[in-house]
Structure 1
Amino acid sequence: MHHHDHGCGKRGRFFFMAGRGGGFGPFGPGFRGPRGGGRGGDGFRAGRLLGDGDLRLIALLLIEETPRHGYDIIKALEERSSGVYSPSPGVVYPTLTFLEEAGYASSTTEGSKKVFSITEAGKAHLSENRAAVDAVLDQLERYGRKMARAREWFDWHDEGEGPDRKERAMPEGLRRLKEVRRRLRGSLAEALDAGPEKREEALAILEQAAEALEALFRR
């Protein structure tokens, strides 16, 4: 049987818990929460919600709740993130295989599906990292709620659309945000058709604005 080394050498990466790109701490750089390897604040970004180690821990938590197959885990993460995060099968199934090879999960075949359950070793490992997995799940859920609220206001193209739009007045601040978004879309369309120099200038302006906004919400 193949055995994994879950320890951490003096200069090695913490194999099981490191996020994408390696790193130390319970999550590695894929997680920028209180004990993660990056910046503080809410931390999550749409393009990179979870590092590899984060997903392994969350999958372990989900199969502790009830035995699951890969699609169950995908749907559970969609629900907990308000539809913002839906990992691909190409990410989830290798994660489950890793947990099984590490001795943290076991599997049985039901029909054409492989169903995973947590083992005693998995329960012990999850218990040791309970605060970490609770923190990353909390951030995932908060990020999902935040993005769901944003979609509620910004995904409708006309103010008359939406389930209860007539009963709800759009706050002035959100009106301004919607107008800025409209103008930004127009500018982005022009940048796509512009020459290389203008496009580079536009990118520099957008990058500065993005960095300023990120700094604002990290304060």
Structure 2
Amino acid sequence: MPQTPPPNGPDQTAPSSGRTQLSMARRGDSPEKPGSGRLAPGNRGGDGFRVGRMVADGDLRLIVLSLLAEQPRHGYDIIKAIEELTSGSYSPSPGVIYPTLTFLEEAGHATASTHGNKKIYAISIAGTEHLSENNATVAGILDHLDRIGRRIAQAREWFGRGEAGARDDRPDRDIPGVIPEMNDARRALKAAIASKIGSTSIEQHRVTEILLRAVAEIRAEQPEDGIDI
């Protein structure tokens, strides 16, 4: 028999604080796999370098306020500015940005005016004060997004992808004469190595040792009675 979800929804235990979410992201945790250092399933796009949901709602409001503090903006301009902050790895949808702007306006942290067919938002005095009270948090969020953006940009360059995600003239062709699963494993390994760009030297040494052990095992001669012809 299907269970009825609790009245307030199924995610009562999910972290609600923007600062909690930010600290989890810094550790590489996710609600699905705490401490795993991996993004939650479904958060990567088709090219493996985009993140569907990178920040909590509270953090996103602070990011938007910080962008409005630079200059008045409309919704699409904010989306593009956040994309630029993260080298295209995070692009909040209009369905996320416009409710955020409405929330900020209703909270008195932003004002809105219509120019032609566009609604332009600007930070209010109360919004400036709120942003000032959360300076340290905002700096941490922006630093987190910047680091992720730089790592993803490096990974894209390593994979030979351009700004739009298209490959250059060095395509990653399959190795002939092997089963498809082996090429799948090779691509997965390549992506795993790219994910370590920017990690600590200790972590990179750990990964190097794993790779060298794998190479040694792959090159080891297989006993004759184990050969499957």
Whether TM-score is above 0.5 comes out as yes
1:28 has 2:44 as partner: no
Deviations 1:102-122 (A, max 9, x none): 000000000111100111110
Q: How does 1:1-219 map to 2 (within 5 A)?
A: 21-24=14-17, 26-29=18-21, 31-32=23-24, 46-155=51-160, 161=170, 186-187=184-185
Deviations 1:47-101 (A, max 9, x none): 4311111110000010011000100100101111111111100000000000000
TM-score, normalised with respect to structure 2: 0.56
Equivalent position amino acid for 1:186 in 2:
D
Q: Distance in 2 between matches of 1:43 and 1:65?
A: 33
The 3-state SS of whatever aligns with 1:29 is helix
Equivalent position amino acid for 1:64 in 2:
A
Partners of 2:69 and 2:128 within 8 A in 1: yes
Q: Distance in 1 between matches of 2:132 and 2:38?
A: 24
4+ residue stretches of structure 1 with deviation over 2 A?
A: 20-24, 26-35, 37-40, 42-48, 155-162, 182-189
- Report percent identity of matched pairs: 49
Distance change (3 Å), C-alpha of 1:160 and 1:110:
closer
Partners of 2:22 and 2:141 within 8 A in 1: no
TM-score, normalised with respect to structure 1: 0.58
Partners of 1:81 and 1:144 within 8 A in 2: yes
Deviations 1:5-50 (A, max 9, x none): xxxxxxxxxxxxxxx94434x5233652679x9879x998734311
Partners of 1:78 and 1:85 within 8 A in 2: yes
Aligned residues: 156
Equivalent position amino acid for 1:88 in 2:
S
Q: Distance in 1 between matches of 2:170 and 2:144?
A: 30
Distance change (3 Å), C-alpha of 1:67 and 1:160:
closer
Equivalent position amino acid for 1:117 in 2:
A
Q: Distance in 2 between matches of 1:43 and 1:102?
A: 35
Q: Which runs of 5+ in 1 are unaligned?
A: 1-19, 163-181, 190-205
Equivalent position amino acid for 1:134 in 2:
A
Offset of residue 145 of structure 1: 0.8
Partners of 2:160 and 2:168 within 8 A in 1: no
Larger CA Rg, structure 1 vs 2 = 2
Q: Which runs of 5+ in 2 are unaligned?
A: 1-12, 41-50, 172-179, 207-229
